[in-house]
A = this chain, B = another copy of it.
């Protein structure tokens, strides 16, 4: 595409962010964004954003997998959601607060695209169509998270586990066979139940031949049944 040729720094395929910017900004403005934005790679376990720190950048996940979570001293983490490539990961509060409200941590080797927040705000304030599009995308992201949280909330333990396994299989890896990118403890923190019970439920799913497990590798062998459990369990 000629557009990409014009912006050698913004050549990532599938970049929603680029779409967002391209659709509304001039060639010069694009040049500005593309020269300012920075990529950075993170190893699993590395914090991308730490809660309570000053909001300085807008983050976008290009590669890998991350968790959005609350860290509470003396208490288990709470995982808000798990975000995949092309998701906006700095969502809540970045416009309405001056500190990040939650922590973002890499689960897999990840590459994050970072744009100075003042620049993004500047564009939003002088380009209404851009701001409007940005608002739509941010609100869509938040909506999905809240919906997911409410869905998880109403399910029993096995339902929560099935829901999470299906999220990995259907939405993240798009494959019945996948490598779990989280520990059992993290699944528990996501579901809001105890680690032991997640392990137990995994074993029962295995015994009932809904899944096969070898270490971190999971294969869903009875998709239909697992979907039932995630809806009604």
Q: A96 CA to B126 CA in the complex, in Å?
A: 21
Within 8 A of B (CB), among A131-158: 131-132, 134-140, 142-143, 145-147, 149-150, 153-154
Residues of B within 8 A of A131 (CB): 124, 128, 131-132, 135
Q: Is A129 an interface residue (CB 8 A)?
A: yes
- Chain B residue with the shortest CB-CB distance to A152: B153
- Contact-residue bracket for chain A: 35 or more
Q: Is A62 an interface residue (CB 8 A)?
A: no
With A128-B126, A128-B128, A139-B138 already in contact, the answer to whether A154 and B92 are too (CB < 8 A) is no
Copies in the complex: 2
Q: Is A78 an interface residue (CB 8 A)?
A: yes
Cross-chain contact of A137 among B96, B124, B147, B154 (Cβ < 8 A) = B96
**Are A149 and B153 touching (Cβ within 8 A)?**
yes
Cross-chain contact of A149 among B124, B129, B150 (Cβ < 8 A) = B150
Within 8 A of B (CB), among A110-128: 121, 124-128
Interface string of A200-214 (1 = CB under 8 A from B): 000000000000000
With A132-B125, A134-B135, A154-B78 already in contact, the answer to whether A101 and B140 are too (CB < 8 A) is no
- Chain B residue with the shortest CB-CB distance to A124: B132
Known: A124-B128, A125-B129. 18 other contacts (CB 8 A): A78-B153, A78-B154, A92-B142, A93-B143, A95-B132, A96-B137, A101-B147, A125-B128, A128-B128, A131-B135, A134-B135, A135-B135, A135-B139, A142-B143, A142-B146, A149-B153, A153-B192, A154-B192
